[in-house]
Structures are given as C-alpha cells and as structure tokens.
Structure 1
Amino acid sequence: MTTLDAALDRLPLLAILRGITPPEALPVGKALVDAGFSILEAPLNSPEPYDTIRQLADAHGETCLIGAGTVLTPEQVQRTADAGGRIVVSPNFNAEVVRATKRLGMVSCPGVFTPSEAFAALDAGADCLKIFPGDAITPKFIKAIRAVLPASARIVVTGGVGAANLAEFMAAGADGAGIGSALYKPGRPAAEVGVVAAQLVAAVHAAREAA
C-alpha cells in the first residue's frame, strides 16, 4: 500500500475530481494514473461520491492513495473508509474529523490557513496540511510558515495552483499541490484529463530540476 510520503515523492500532486460521476471514475482514474498521479480524491459534494471512491479504490488502491475531499464530519470519514478510501481531505480543520480519520488508520489532510490552525491540526494528528485557498496567498507565505512548522510536516497548497506557478510554491517549501478545475471539470473527457495531467507532470519535473 502506498504511503503519503511515497505518493508525494513520486508526484507531488493531488487530483481533485469535484463533480465526477461514477461512470467517469474508471476512465478518468486510469488517465490520471497512467500520467503518474498517485493521489486521487472525490469530493463528497460530487454525485454519488462513495461509489466513485469504491471504484477507484478497487482499481488503484494498491498503488495509489484514493479517498474523499470536502469531508466535514466523522460520519463521512467512516463512510469513506467503508468505500475503501485511505485519505481524508477537508477544506477546514475539525479536530474530530482528524481524530476519526486517524482512528481508522487513514491519512488526514485538513484545510488550514493560519499558523494557529496549522499547529492545532498537527497536534490533533494531521498527516498533511492543506493550505486553502491557495490563490489568497503567495509563495512567501509558504516560506514563512515552513520556517516555523516541524520539518516533518507536509504542506499541500490547494486552489489557484497550476503549471504556471507550481515551481514557485515548491521552491518556497510546499510539498505538493491539490489540482482541481485546472485538471478536471464535470464532463471533461478522460482523454483531455490525461493531456492536462501530462502537462502538470512535466511542470513538476521542470520544478524539481530547477530546484
């Protein structure tokens, strides 16, 4: 089973498939995995998200981290686990959601925006900090917060990050980025998702070479 560290080291991108439907799950998932993605989330405000999570987990759960986004309650954490998900991503920090995630042996990635939220999330057991919304900050923010967080803390910036600015955020200390509408929009064909995914993977390689 892939760990968070291994997945981020392989490719520091998290695919946010907001709005995806169960019939799209397998073709879109295959396009992303073929491009090199190893972390995929189906936000719970998508149609029948647990069905999508189950399909993705059955197909790619051995080599990828599959899970849910926009997780707001411990009950949703349990349903994600029941569907085979192994990562829980939230737009906010809720200590009960983090604790429920860790009790089930899953990866916890809550959303935070301030140093206080970041430290509180780590104290609750979070494995990764999702800085959200990313388009409300600059790479300087990441550099500043990285300087005070434990070196082991993983940071993923989500919202407003794409091929054009990914290198700046990574150079500032981000461990990765969550990519949503720039990668997948409802109804986008799997082939197009694969093309965009390949462009993002190329941007990651360029950023790593520059570093």
Structure 2
Amino acid sequence: MHLPIKLPLIAILRGIKAEEAEAHIGALIECGFDAIEIPLNSPDWQQTIPQMVKLFGDRALIGAGTVLKTAQVDELAAGGSRLMVTPNTDAAVIQRAVKHNMWVAAGCATATEAFTALNAGAQALKIFPASAFGPAYIKAIKAVLPSDVPVFAVGGVTPQNLAEYLAVGCVGAGLGSDLYRAGQPLARTIEKAHAFVQAYQEAIR
C-alpha cells in the first residue's frame, strides 16, 4: 500500500499549545518529519490544527489524533486536516474520515479490530500500546494481515527499540512522549527528532 509520507514516523504532539506549535512543527519538518499528529486532548486544537495546515500543509501530512467522534472528523476536514489517527477501532469514525479523503491510521490491538478497521477503509493500522504487547505480538498479528497494510507501532517506542519493531514488519512508528512532552523546550524536540531519524535510518540500512 502506498504511503503518503517519506519518513514513516508520526510525530505525536500531545498537549502542544497554539503559540508553540509553529516552532516545534517547523523544526520537526526540518529534521525530516512529514507526518504530524496533534491529539484532540490538546488545548485549542480547533485553532492550532487549521493554522498548522495553512502554514505547513504543503510540506507535511498534518492532522489529528485521539479522534473519537464523527463530528470531530467533520470539523477537522473543514480545517483542512489530511491525517487522522484513532486510539480505538470505530468503523463510523474511520468511514467518515475516508469519505473526507483523509489518510487514516486506526488504533487496534487484536486481529478482529484490525480487520474491522481495514473493512471500514483505514489505510494503515496503529498497534497500541505497542510496548505492552511487544514486537513478538505484532509479528504474530502481521502474519494474518494483508502484507501490503502499513502497520505502525505506537506507545513506548524509543530510538533504542525502534529497530525491533521495524524488524517484525512495522513500516514505522508513532512517537509520543519519547519525542515530545507538553511544555518541553524546542531544543529538546530537535534533539529527540534527530535521535529518532538517525535510529530509523540505521535500522533500514
């Protein structure tokens, strides 16, 4: 399946404030990131996401995470979001996002949830929480999925263990608190972004 991004690492900026977003997202894009997720439990997301789409939408796939309701999908689509990541498998939410031409990475944990998401039109799967299941579990799930479905490990992925998830067939990962924690300085975001990009490049060599 075709990936709409060059670097299959999704930056999850949970808790980012509107006034910080431009600097952090600009820096992440400079580091090579081209998929940015702002979870809907972040402050003022209704303002932040459309602003970031306007600023960086031609350089990165920008959208939302922790999307739980179809009404939120409609609001995101109106603001130009092109990426939607869910924490769970809700067919109605996935279908609505696909209808709006969004790229959907649907959260799932079991084979049943994975196929429910795919049947609803999700283009990618997010195994969450990856650290609780571990690479061996993901490898087992991958064995029953269509080989062309991109699977992302999310939850507890670090530069140190990223290669383990790629080795079992994950195309990439979603990076949360090991990349960005609310309120952290810009220099820290840049430092962590470089560490993840380097770990990814080394793992795929």
2-side partners of 1:57 and 1:125: how far apart?
23
Q: Does residue 138 of the first structure (1) align with residue 134 of the second (2)?
A: yes
Q: Which runs of 5+ in 1 are unaligned?
A: none
Aligned-CA RMSD value:
1.2
SS in 2 for 1:110: strand
2-side partners of 1:81 and 1:156: how far apart?
23
SS in 2 for 1:5: coil
2:168 corresponds to which of 127, 149, 172: 172
Offset of residue 4 of structure 1: 6.6
**How do residues 3-82 of structure 1 correspond to structure 2 at under 5 angstroms?**
5-7=3-5, 10-82=6-78
Offset of residue 6 of structure 1: 3.7
Q: Does residue 159 of the first structure (1) align with residue 141 of the second (2)?
A: no
1:101-155 deviations in Å (ceiling 9; x for gaps): 0111111111100001001110110111110111111111121111211112110
> Which amino acid in 1 is paired with 2:202?
A
> Which amino acid in 2 is paired with 1:72?
L
1-side partners of 2:2 and 2:175: how far apart?
16
**How do residues 194-209 of structure 1 correspond to structure 2 at under 5 angstroms?**
194-209=190-205
SS in 2 for 1:56: helix
Q: Is the 8 A contact 2:29 2:59 kept in 1?
A: no
1:121 corresponds to which of 117, 120, 125: 117
1-side partners of 2:197 and 2:60: how far apart?
16
Offset of residue 63 of structure 1: 2.1
Q: How many residues are matched? A: 205
2-side partners of 1:56 and 1:4: how far apart?
24
> Which amino acid in 2 is paired with 1:169?
Y
User: What corresponds to 1:109 in structure 2?
Assistant: 105
TM-score, normalization by structure 2: 0.97
SS in 2 for 1:14: strand
Q: Is the 8 A contact 1:31 1:191 kept in 2?
A: no
SS in 2 for 1:183: coil
1:24-76 deviations in Å (ceiling 9; x for gaps): 11000011000000000100000001211112211211121100000000000
Q: Is the 8 A contact 1:15 1:39 kept in 2?
A: yes
> Which amino acid in 2 is paired with 1:142?
I
2-side partners of 1:132 and 1:34: how far apart?
27
> Which amino acid in 1 is paired with 2:7?
L
> Which amino acid in 1 is paired with 2:69?
T
Task: Show structure 1 runs of 4+ deviating over 4 A.
Answer: none
2-side partners of 1:71 and 1:4: how far apart?
23
Q: Is the 8 A contact 1:71 1:91 kept in 2?
A: yes
1-side partners of 2:130 and 2:178: how far apart?
13
> Which amino acid in 1 is paired with 2:3?
D
